[in-house]
Amino acid sequence: MHIEEISDEVAERLKLAKAESDKAEAQERGESTDSQDAPKTATAAMFPELSPGRVMTNKKTVDEVAAELKKTPFFMTELEENDDTEAFKALAYEGTPFEVASDFKDHGNECFREKRWADAKEFYTKGILVLAAEERKRAKGEPNPEETEEDVKGQRSVLESLYVNRAACHLELKNYRSCWLDCAAALRLDDKNLKAYYRSAKAFLAVGRIEEADDACARGLALDQNNNPLKTVAREIIKKSEEIAAKQKKENERLLREKRREMLVRAALKARDIKTRTTAQPPEMEDAKLQLVPDPDDPRSTLSFPTVLLYPAHLESDFIKAFNETDTLADHLSYVFPLPWDKAGEYTLAGVECYMETLSGGLIKVGKKVPLLKMLSSGNVEVVDEVVRFFVLPKAKAAEWVQEFKTKKAAEKGGG
């Protein structure tokens, strides 16, 4: 029977069903069917009949129509286990697992040749899913009774190729971990697959895992010592290994140099009788640090300190990256002043007084022309977290601030 004949038959049935329905409704209303024949004929002549699809949905609610549509695969929003869905899914895989997987492999190879790595990977993945499912069935003791030993061997050969081909895609896409995992899966099927050794070696090398790369390469070369791709990777591994060794050597030398410099600084501080203390949370100073200058490796060099100038009367501050032990406060204040925020002009070299905090928590007034070394080696002050701190105040406000400072310290000691 042709499609046209089916459509005609459905249409006729629908016409009969509609006529019987109209007749029943007329009888319920108590009307004579004969009296309605003429109007019906006139109506039919004036308006075309509904299409079969419209007739089937006529007198149905929206929910009923939606339920009917959902039974059609094209309109499905949820998978249902029925004949329609099973038939629809079967359309995707026509042929034996070997044929289906081989077809996916061919499509993947075509994409790979065109450098469409992501598309190729998807095709290889589909093929792997098909054959991996067959492998799981055999592992559970549920083999296909129609498969021969040669069929199984052929499937595993294709599965092995799919794994190494997908590994090649991962390598191009820089999915290195996925690459060596696929190579491992291929090697479980055939431990003599040279491509798997080559690609896993490349992936390990790309992430700097030299030992694993060297092992994979060595295993491959043990099977074929004349394999050019593997020999090329072996040279790359040697080169990378030498680079890493050189880098590590340089880093070790840097660490030793830094350690020696720290020892020289500690020795210089001790020789000068400069007291220091480190807190639990030292400040971040980027590249500023306590060091010997101009040559940090020469113990005859002078000490240079990061220094903070605090202006407590105005809650401001300045940072001096390198305050040499031979420098005086005047040397630095001469270029720091005038201060941009000092609108009243209170901060001048002659108009300020400078203080440092003592070991006991008090204050000591320091001369602006006294070298830093003399201040620090006096035994009354300490360098905290490698930073020297000075309090700078206008002379007119110095006495009041000193008193406030002492009162606050006394309160802290009393509270403690």
Q: What is the pLDDT of residues 166-205, one digit of tens each?
A: 999 999 999 999 999 999 999 999 999 999 999 999 999 9
**Least confident piece of the model among 13-22, 98-107, 258-267:** 13-22
The pLDDT-based confidence of 410 (bands split at 50, 70, 90) is confident
Average pLDDT, the chain: 85
Helix axes 228-271, 194-206, angle to 10 degrees: 20
Residue found under tokens 């895609």: 169
The pLDDT-based confidence of 4 (bands split at 50, 70, 90) is very low
Question: What is each CA distance from 167 to 99, 185, 242, 304, 357, in whole angstroms?
Answer: 22, 10, 27, 57, 67
Tally of CA atoms within 13 A in the half-sphere of 40 that contains its CB? 11
Mean pLDDT over 280-295 rounds to 92
Task: Report pLDDT for 413.
Answer: 76
C-alpha to C-alpha distance for 323 and 341, rounded to whole angstroms: 23
The pLDDT-based confidence of 21 (bands split at 50, 70, 90) is low
**Under DSSP, is residue 50 helix (H, G, I), strand (E, B) or coil?**
coil
Tokens of 393: 């105040």
Look at residue 285 and tell me whether its pLDDT is greater than 70.
Answer: yes
Look at residue 324 and tell me whether its pLDDT is greater than 50.
Answer: yes
Look at residue 368 and tell me whether its pLDDT is greater than 70.
Answer: yes
Q: Which residue type sits at 248?
A: Q
Percent of the chain at pLDDT above 70? 78
The pLDDT-based confidence of 19 (bands split at 50, 70, 90) is low
Look at residue 30 and tell me whether its pLDDT is greater than 70.
Answer: no
Look at residue 88 and tell me whether its pLDDT is greater than 90.
Answer: no
Task: Report pLDDT for 280.
Answer: 92
The pLDDT-based confidence of 55 (bands split at 50, 70, 90) is low
C-alpha to C-alpha distance for 311 and 391, rounded to whole angstroms: 6
Look at residue 268 and tell me whether its pLDDT is greater than 80.
Answer: yes
Look at residue 16 and tell me whether its pLDDT is greater than 60.
Answer: no
C-alpha to C-alpha distance for 322 and 349, rounded to whole angstroms: 20
Look at residue 20 and tell me whether its pLDDT is greater than 60.
Answer: no
> 10 Å Cβ neighbour count for 393?
23
Mean pLDDT over 135-141 rounds to 90
Q: Pick 57 or 178 by higher pLDDT.
A: 178
